[in-house]
Chains A and B, each alone.
Chain A
Amino acid sequence: MNRSRLTGSRLIAVFLLGCVLLNYPLLSLLDRSVEFLGVPLLYAYVFVIWAGLIGLMAAVIERPGG
């Protein structure tokens, strides 16, 4: 019970984190003509954060017994 509540709280935290990271005004901060490994910074940022969120969600929900 407690552990599942903790999983739930963590998922909500991931949701809120994603809402902030993948939104204005943070996006506009990264909107500059800098490149990251040949890819414009904005794109690299969005995809990296996106993948990171997915990883976090998987880690939270697939924890053994979680």
Chain B
Amino acid sequence: MLQGWFIAGSSFAYLGLLFAIAYYAGRRADAGRSVIARPSIYALSLAVYCTTWTYYGSVGRAAASGIGFLPIYLGPTLMMALCWFVLRKMIRIAKANRLTSIADFVAARYGKSQLLGGLVTVIAVIGVIPYIALQLKAVSNSFTILLHYPEIVMPSRADTLPWQKDSTLYVALLLAAFTILFGTRHLDATERHEGMVAAIAFESVVKLVAFSSVGLFVTFGIYDGFGDIFSRAGTSPHLAELLTLHGASAGASSWVSLTFLSMMSILLLPRQFQIAVVENVDENHLRRAVWLFPLYLLLINLFVMPIALGGLLHFGAAGVDADTFVLTLPMVYQQQGLALLVFLGGLSAATGMVIVETIALSTMVCNDLVMPLLLRLRWLGLSRRDDLSGLLLDIRRSAIVAILLLGYSYFRAAGEAYALVGIGLISFAAVAQFAPVIFGALYWKGGTRGGALAGLSAGFLVWCYTLLLPSFAKSGWLPSDFMDQGLFGLALLKPQQLFGLSGLDEIAHCLFWSMLANVGAYLGVSLARSPDAREARQATLFVDVFRVTPAPAGAAIWRGRAQVDELLPLMGRFLGPERARAALDQYARERGVASVDALAADAGLVHYAENLLAGAIGSASARVMVASVVEEEPLGLDEVLDILDEAYQMRAYSRQLEQQSQELSAATRELRAANLRLTELDRLKDDFISTVTHELRTPLTSIRAFSEMLFADPRIELTERRRFLGIIVAETERLTRLINQVLDLAKIESGNAEWHSAEIDLREVLLASVEATGPLFKERGIALDLALPAAAPAIKADRDRLIQVMMNLLSNAVKFCAPGVGRVTVSLKVEAGYLWVDVADNGPGIRRDDQKIIFEKFRQGGRGNDVLTGKPLGTGLGLPISRQIIEHFGGELRVESAPEEGGIGATFSFSLPLATQEVKPT
């Protein structure tokens, strides 16, 4: 079934499907229901990083150098951990300033320099062209191989074919047409392409599924799992060598440089910048991407080694290129469907890369290279044309075709000299040249336009000399003399052993020299003079993006005169008249102004217009254009710095104010709580007083009643008289006791009680208490048992107070036991650093509901009334006082009783810590 027409038909069907997805997503985006506003879609679209270079090339590299293919994926994994800082900051900056490409980003940071934007564009185009060539090569090779099914035929050298017969050319043109359809249907001021992102995310899934299918087929279909493949490979000395670091030719320098390169590439490749920064919908999507994207990388690399070893085991040295194992292994085993799936997977890897990369590059070429040149050529009269938006689109379309044709040319020139991975690394090394100026842009305010120009140029030239030209020479496109003997015959200038540096592979060698030149020039030239006003302003907008809000800060640093009826046509020329009008309408609405004509052409409006234009034609050109219609007053560096300082101070003040108001509201909250507490205490005090007076009145009333009877009636009999006097005496005693206890409690609670702490033996205290209450027990016929240990540790406490507690507990126990059969047990034990004293009785017990309230003031258990007066025996203060005393010594007083469950009696227990520390009453 694998005829040429069928393969081509499947490819077209696949591309059609992609287009349908993009179209659907685009429609949804226009309707405001974006399908890509999901963190997982964002993470998947980042996987545009995995091109055919990963798809076919990883296996090739693994077959040649074992584990050496991995740093290219470990680097991005590590970088993603830092992305929370770096990428988030780039996204924030790009959105605030409407930056749409990496060239624009660099140009805007270093004073909106057109020259710098142009240089970045040139470097990016030249650097990435080999990478695009690689995609073309992969697609055309895989097509050719599949066409010869079931035979395995390696594609003949491309340059032996005349160009008309070279399928690669047609692949290039087809991809160009496809990209134009995708990326330049209309002009968008934010350069966002929702449809494209949806298609890219879909392609990422296709790539992963296709590659994993081959991996599973090879690992479990042909062989018997991972262990089988590795053990078979282990028997061949050549293959066994691949499984070690030594044979992997992955020396430390190569490993480190590849990791570094891939870390930079994940941020700085034009397509990664496009997807990760420009197309980002919500910076919170980064959260998911931080781990999902590395996970994708891990999964797509899981089967690389098994496929590489499987291919090597099967084909041996039979002249099958290891870059093609992914495709040729299924073919050898007559898996037609799988082979077709692999081809489509490769196609999706290639199209994804080519589409995003060329769209990103075409934006850069248009905004930072072509437009600045065209606008300078006055004879074209561009500045007088009414609507240039169509021209912008045409420039981009031409740029896309031109870039793909350049890629094709490189493929013809140098494509066969390198394996896939080699070509990709050349591109990586080129974009790594952006690293110093980008990181400088993000974190260093001292970088200047001159420094950036010098650094980029120096790094780029070294890259050309040590990596690009040698790649031409190796393909025979350039004479190889300068490779072997050095430029002008000077051995010190050998491109790949510059100044005699040897022992590094070509990538590490290039990286070392180019970074040395790049960073050195960037820092050196930047430090030679202080930044001028515009650089300082842009530096602030970039470095402090999380601290300053760009719109006011950007607008504040501008002074001049402008007119709306000049700004509007200018915007119309590049955005289209209707869109410009609509944008200004919206601005007017946001400002609360009735119409566009009523807008004041102040600094804010000029800033808004410039930002909007920056989205369409790049920040540098936008600035030139806006400056052409407004009268700008140049600001000196000092003025700019003053304004920025002011902005900072305002911010600092407002932060201070915010902090103070927070402190104030916290204080208010505390005060309110304190007030609440006081009111509650006041209420408790009132309750207490009213209870106390009530308790005092009861005995007083009865004393008074009996006294009056005695006073009024002298004829009362003696026995009666004695009884009355007895009651009066008892009530007076009760009154005295009550008053004493109230005073006592008040003293303890207010912290004025006197404590006479001394070393005491608790056994002695218990014995003394028992002795003192002995008559009471005898009187009521209640038995008292003592269970004391032979010795107890001495503790520090107030002896009298403890006796007071014991007397209270013992007299309570007596009160509640039935006379004659009652039995009270006092025991002492040491447990977990505490001395525990239990006083257990066999009375009626205390119901659970009462167990809490008996410790409250004036609340009593309810039984055991006085024989004489019929009133409760106690004052209701004994237990509260006892509890306060025990707590003062750091112990606790509690009761256990369960009459509801048939338990007998109640047990009051208190504890005293062995290492007693007096607790200050609260």
Contacts and interface: CB of A to CB of B under 8 A. Distances in A.
Interface in B215-240: 225-228, 230-231, 234, 240
Interface string B73-89: 01001101110110000
A2 B290 CA distance: 20
Given A11-B81, A15-B81, 17 more contacts: A12-B81, A14-B81, A23-B259, A25-B252, A28-B245, A33-B244, A35-B227, A38-B231, A43-B67, A43-B243, A51-B298, A54-B298, A55-B291, A57-B294, A58-B290, A61-B84, A61-B290
B245 A18 contact: no
A37 B80 CA distance: 30
Contacts of A55: 291
Contact of A11 (B70, B77, B84, B295): B84
Given A18-B78, A38-B230, A8 B294 contact: no
Interface string B142-165: 000000000000000000000000
Interface in B54-111: 67, 70, 74, 77-78, 80-82, 84-85
A46 B81 contact: no
B245 A22 contact: no
A50 B291 CA distance: 11
B85 A46 contact: no
A20 to B, nearest CB: 11
Interface of A: 7-8, 11-12, 14-15, 18-19, 22-25, 27-28, 31, 33, 35, 37-40, 42-43, 46-47, 50-51, 53-55, 57-58, 61-62
B246 interface: yes
B287 A61 contact: yes
A39 B230 contact: yes
A61 B285 CA distance: 11
A53 B184 CA distance: 40
14 contacts: A7-B84, A12-B85, A18-B81, A22-B74, A27-B245, A27-B255, A31-B245, A35-B227, A37-B226, A43-B67, A47-B302, A50-B298, A51-B298, A53-B78
B82 A15 contact: yes
Contacts of A31: 244-246
B510 interface: no
Contact of B82 (A11, A23, A53): A11
A50 B295 CA distance: 9
B487 interface: no
Interface string B283-303: 000011011001100100010
Contacts of A35: 227, 230-231
Contacts of B234: 33, 40
Contact of A22 (B78, B82, B231): B78
Nearest to A27: B245
Interface string B248-260: 0000100110010
Contacts of A28: 245
Q: Which DSSP category, helix, strand, loop or mixed, fits chain A's interface? A: helix
Contacts of A62: 287-288, 291
B437 interface: no
A51 B298 CA distance: 7
Contacts of B562: none
A46 B225 CA distance: 19
B237 to A, nearest CB: 12
Contacts of B230: 35, 38-40, 43
Nearest to B240: A33
B295 A54 contact: yes
Contacts of B228: 38
A57 B290 contact: yes
Nearest to B296: A54
B305 interface: yes
A1 B126 CA distance: 43
Contact of A39 (B81, B227, B246): B227
B78 A19 contact: yes
A36 B675 CA distance: 69
Interface in B176-228: 225-228
Nearest to A40: B243
Contacts of B67: 42-43, 46
A54 B302 CA distance: 14
Contact of A23 (B81, B256, B290): B256
- Of all A-B residue pairs in the complex, the 5 with the closest CB atoms, nearest first, are A38-B227, A58-B291, A15-B81, A24-B252, A31-B245
A61 B712 CA distance: 92
A47 to B, nearest CB: 7
Contact of A47 (B84, B240, B256, B298): B298
Contacts of A42: 67, 243-245
Contact of B74 (A7, A39, A50, A58): A50
Given A38-B226, A38-B227, A43-B305, A57 B80 contact: yes
B77 A50 contact: yes
Contacts of A24: 252, 255-256
A46 to B, nearest CB: 6
Interface centre among B226, B228, B240, B256 (most CB of A within 10 A): B226
Nearest to B252: A24
Contact of A37 (B70, B227, B243, B302): B227
Interface centre among A8, A33, A55, A57 (most CB of B within 10 A): A57
A43 B245 CA distance: 10
